[in-house]
Amino acid sequence: MLLWRTAMMLRYYANEGFRTCLVVQSQDPTAEQLMGSKIGNSLTECAANLSAIKLETSKLLLEPLDRMKKVDAQVNFTQGILEGIVGEELGVLPGMDSICSVLALQKLLHFFSAGRSNSQPEFDVIVYDCNNTEEILRLIGATDRARSYLRYVRDLAEKTDMGRLASPSLLKLVYDSARPNGKTSEGRLSTEIWNEIEQLLEKVSVWFADPSKLACFLIMDPRRSISVSSALRYWGCTTQAGGQICGAFGYTEDPSEMHQEVAQKFLPLSLSFLPFLPNDSSADWSRALSSLSQNAKEQLRNTSTLVYPSVSFDSVQKSVTLFMPGFDKSEIKLYQYRGGSELLIEAGDQRRVIKLPPTMQGKVGGAKFVDRNLIVSIR
């Protein structure tokens, strides 16, 4: 649900001259109240430099289905079965929201494509108001995790009789329907397509880890310990998912209530103040924006600088340091597979694979948790 804190950021970017777009995926009317206009399934201009669009999965299903039908008519993989499916009759199943939102966001962000489409307006800033925090964490880590699944699916396709029989046609059906780089599978071997998909997933993983592309912020009530603890946990979860937190904001009616001990907990992040506003259309945005501190404005503008490294390697000491705020030692599990070439870290309902440099590969010799850092020694 869009709250006034997010709406204030939108208004700030638009007021500074950035072409800004809000993407919502909820039936909650709060976003429309805060934006002061009706938000539909196509881009709606809400104010100068500020547009919005609502994602509805029941409608987003139709375009990929239509693409698959057109490709299937050429390769005849389903022998007409796919053509008989009426998209308007399909209901939304669990998991479809996330998949369809990725396809919709790709049209705006172009993280699959080499360049931008001329048919879509370009935006300097896009704010995605997803259904919940856990969903965006899954989205951030999706492509990196998908690479592991892709490896197993490819083995099934290339090393089993059933896979060798069915996978070439199925692979072309899926690839030509998606056309991630605007290409088709015509005249290309299955091996080339598998390799391109692997490279594409790696490219998108790097995109999500780049704070200049995807900036994440923590927002909390500094007066409430449970709100502070929640922000710390989601800091760690975002890092574990492969994203970067660029800054933290506290909202309160009295800036003097921003306690120094709270700010200390979020170092090296900077904690800035956001003025408190009602969560409705009566907010005085001009007054709110004028009350933003210089520190808050700098945080919102300067997202390209990496605040902290989530993983660092010490080849001399043969150690790996993982920055894991919001967790304690008992919540972190460390595994090692594949002959000592990787580390598997489990925390916050996320599993993260850390590939070791060739000069540091080996068995884990020990691990310790010091000042929010997991330090792993390699033998």
253-312 pLDDT, tens digit each? 666 656 778 889 999 998 988 887 766 556 678 888 888 888 889 888 887 776 788 999
pLDDT in tens, 236-249: 999 999 999 999 99
Distances (CA, A) of 212 to 18, 141, 294: 15, 17, 20
The answer to whether residues 208 and 147 touch, using CB atoms and an 8 Å cutoff, is: no
Mean pLDDT throughout 203-217? 88
284/261 Cα distance (integer angstroms)? 31
Say what the pLDDT of residue 133 is. Answer: 83
Helix intervals (H) in the chain: 4-15, 30-35, 57-60, 62-75, 96-109, 133-159, 161-178, 190-209, 225-241, 260-265, 285-290, 294-301
The number of C-alpha atoms within 13 Å of 176 and in the hemisphere containing its C-beta is 22
Residue 114 has a pLDDT of 47
Q: What is the pLDDT of residue 17?
A: 94
Mean pLDDT of 61-75: 87
Predicted pLDDT of residue 281: 57
Query: Does 158 have pLDDT greater than 60?
Result: yes
- pLDDT at residue 11 greater than cutoff 60: yes
DSSP per position, 170-214: HHHHHHHHH-TTS---TT--HHHHHHHHHHHHHHHHHHHH-TTTS
The predicted model gives 186-190 an average pLDDT of 85
Interval 71-86: pLDDT, tens: 888 888 888 888 888 8
Tell me what pLDDT residue 357 has.
92
The more confident residue out of 12 and 178 is 12
Domain spans in the chain, listed from the N-terminal domain onward: 216-301, 311-378
Tokens standing for 94?
Answer: 């669990």
pLDDT at 187: 81
pLDDT mean over 223-233? 93
pLDDT at 118 over 60: no
Q: Radius of gyration (Cα) for the chain, nearest Å?
A: 23
pLDDT at 254: 65
- What pLDDT is stored for residue 278 in this prediction? 64
Q: Residue 334 has what pLDDT?
A: 94
Whether residue 226 is predicted with pLDDT greater than 90 in this model: the reply is yes
Task: Give the pLDDT of residue 132.
Answer: 78
Residue 377, H or E segment: strand 373-378
CA 269/CA 271 separation, integer angstroms: 6
From the CB of residue 340, how many other CB atoms can be counted at a distance below 10 Å?
Answer: 15
Considering only 44-58, 110-124, 334-348, which range has the smallest mean pLDDT?
A: 110-124
Check whether 115 has a pLDDT greater than 50.
Answer: no
The pLDDT score that the predictor gives to residue 19 is 94
CA 45 – CA 61 distance, rounded (Å): 24
Q: Work out the percent of the chain whose per-residue pLDDT is above 70.
A: 93
Could you give the count of Cα atoms lying within 13 Å of 84 in the half-sphere of its Cβ? 4
Q: Is pLDDT of 126 > 50?
A: yes
Contact 335, 346 (CB under 8 A): yes
**Arch. (CATH architecture) of 311-378:** Sandwich (2.60)
